[in-house]
Amino acid sequence: MRYLIDIGHPAHVHYFKNLAFTLTGQGHEVFFTCRDKDVTIQLLQHYKFRFISFGKPFRSVPGKIFGMFYFTFRIIQVSFSFRPDMLLNATMYAAIASRVLGKPHLSLEDTFNMEQVRLYLPFTTCILTGDYNHPAMGRKEIKYSGYQELLYLHPDYFKPDISVLDEIGVKENEPYVVLRFVSWTASHDIRHKGISHANKILAVREFSKYARVYITSESELPDPLKKYRINIEPHRLHHALAFASLIFGESATMVSEGAMLGTPGIYIDNTSRFYTRDLEERYNLVLNFSETESDQVKAVEAGIELLKGGKTREKWQTRHAKMLSEKINVTGFLVWFIRNWPESFRVMKTDPGYQCRFK
C-alpha cells in the first residue's frame, strides 16, 4: 500500500513519524509533501523520510486563497507519479486532492478552525478527533480517547533523554523555563496578537529570578531576547521539554506537549484550544490565559508561583500519570485504523470501545 501524507506544520511531522516508521517497516510506501515552514524540512530530513517541499507558505489572505488552489494542484501532480492508495493529513489540501484522485482521505483535527473545516469537510472521508468537548464534525467523525501529541509522546514511543541537559548547558535538577513565541501567520491566527513585547521582557526578567530561561520562536526575536534562544536540534526539543520546570507561551501544541510529558504549562491565547481547556479542566496539567494585558500579567504571575512551588513537579507527574492511564496509544490505534480501512470505520461506529485494546 502507498500512503501520501501532507504536512502543514512541523508538529505534523511528529504526528505521523511513528506511523510512517511502522508502515515502512511492514513493507508499505510513505511519501510526504510539505511547505517550508519553520523546521519542517529539517525534521523530515532528520528522519530520512521521502518528501517534496512546495516552497514557503503564503502569509497574506489573498496568498492563502491562492495557496489553497496551488498546493492542492501540486499534491495532485505528485500523486500522479506516486499513486497513493490513501491520503492523510492535518491540512485541507490533500482532502480536496483526494476527491479529484478518487482515493480515501483521513484527516486529523484538533484546532477546529471552522473556516478550514468547512473547506475540507465535503472532501475528506473520515475525521479523527480526540474525545474531549469540541464542535461535532458529523457522520464522518471518529473519536478516540487521547490527544494528537500522544501520537509521538506516548511512553511506548518516547523516552526522555537526560543527556539533553548537557546540550543546553544546565545541570541535573537545575530549574529552567522554555518560552515559546509563534509567528501568528497561520489562517487560524488572524485577529490574534499574542504576548506583547513588554510582557515578553517581563516574563524573561521575572522567570530568570527562579530559573534559567530559554526561548524558541518562529519569528525573529528582538535584540534584548536573542541571547535566550535555545540552541538545540529540532528533533531534540521534546527531550528538553520533558525536564523543564515550565513551558510558557503562545503555542497550544508545545504547551500540550509539555502536558504529555508531565511538565507544567501556561498557554496564552484569546480563544485557547478545546484540548488545552480539557487538559486544564480534567487533569489540571495546563493553565489557560487570554491575550488581554491584564491576563498576560496574571500568566507571568502564575508562572512565578509554579516556579516557587516546592513540589510543583511532583504534582504534575501525578496528574500526568492519571491522564496516561485513561488514554490510548494513539499511534497503535491509527496504524490499526488505516490498515483495516474501511472495516475499521464501521467497527468504531458500532463499537467505540474497541479502541481500549490500544491502552
- 37 versus 2: the higher-pLDDT residue is 2
pLDDT band at 225 (very low <50, low <70, confident <90, very high): very high
- 1.10.3720.10, 3.40.50.300, 3.20.20.210, 3.40.50.2000: CATH of 2-154+328-358: 3.40.50.2000
Q: Which three cell numbers stand for residue 329?
A: 496509544
Cα angle at 7 between 5 and 9, to 5 degrees? 155
Contact call for residues 13 and 36 (beta carbons, < 8 A): no
Write down the pLDDT at residue 61. Answer: 84
Helix spans in the chain (H): 10-25, 40-46, 61-82, 93-101, 114-120, 150-153, 164-168, 197-207, 237-242, 252-261, 274-283, 293-308, 312-325, 330-339, 343-350
- Which residue in 174, 194, 172, 175 sits closest to 183, CA to CA? 194
Write down the pLDDT at residue 115. Answer: 83
- 59 versus 187: the higher-pLDDT residue is 59
pTM of the model: 0.93
pLDDT digits (tens, 9 = 90+) for 309-337: 888 999 999 999 999 999 999 999 999 99
Average pLDDT over residues 179-190: 66
Write down the pLDDT at residue 222. Answer: 86
- 29 versus 60: the higher-pLDDT residue is 29
Average pLDDT over residues 28-36: 97
Write down the pLDDT at residue 187. Answer: 46
Write down the pLDDT at residue 68. Answer: 87
> Which residue has 528538553 as its cell numbers?
240
Q: Is the pLDDT of residue 184 over 60?
A: no
Q: Is the pLDDT of residue 2 over 70?
A: yes
DSSP codes joined into one string, 338-356: HHTTTHHHHHHHH-GGGGG
CA atoms within 13 A on the CB side of 295: 16
Average pLDDT over residues 122-142: 96
pLDDT digits (tens, 9 = 90+) for 231-267: 999 999 999 999 999 999 999 999 999 999 999 999 9
pLDDT band at 292 (very low <50, low <70, confident <90, very high): very high
- 222 versus 357: the higher-pLDDT residue is 357
Write down the pLDDT at residue 316. Answer: 96
Burial class from Cβ neighbours inside 10 Å (0-12, 13-18, 19+) for residue 282 reads middle
pLDDT digits (tens, 9 = 90+) for 48-76: 999 999 999 888 888 888 888 999 999 99
Write down the pLDDT at residue 91. Answer: 76
Q: Which residues contact 179 (CB under 8 A, 6 or more apart)?
A: 200, 203, 204, 207, 213, 214, 215, 216, 228, 248, 249
Query: What is the side-by-side strand order in the sheet with 105-108?
Result: 51-53, 29-34, 2-7, 86-89, 105-108, 126-130, 141-144
Q: Comparing 2-154+328-358 with 164-324, is the CATH topology the same?
A: yes
User: Where does 164-324 sit in CATH, by number?
Assistant: 3.40.50.2000
Q: Is the pLDDT of residue 86 over 80?
A: yes
Q: Is the pLDDT of residue 190 over 70?
A: no
> Which helix H or strand E contains 125, and what residues bound it?
none
- Which of 8-17, 53-62, 123-132, 280-289 shows the lowest mean pLDDT across its residues? 53-62
Average pLDDT over residues 215-236: 92
Q: Where are the domains of the chain?
A: 2-154+328-358, 164-324
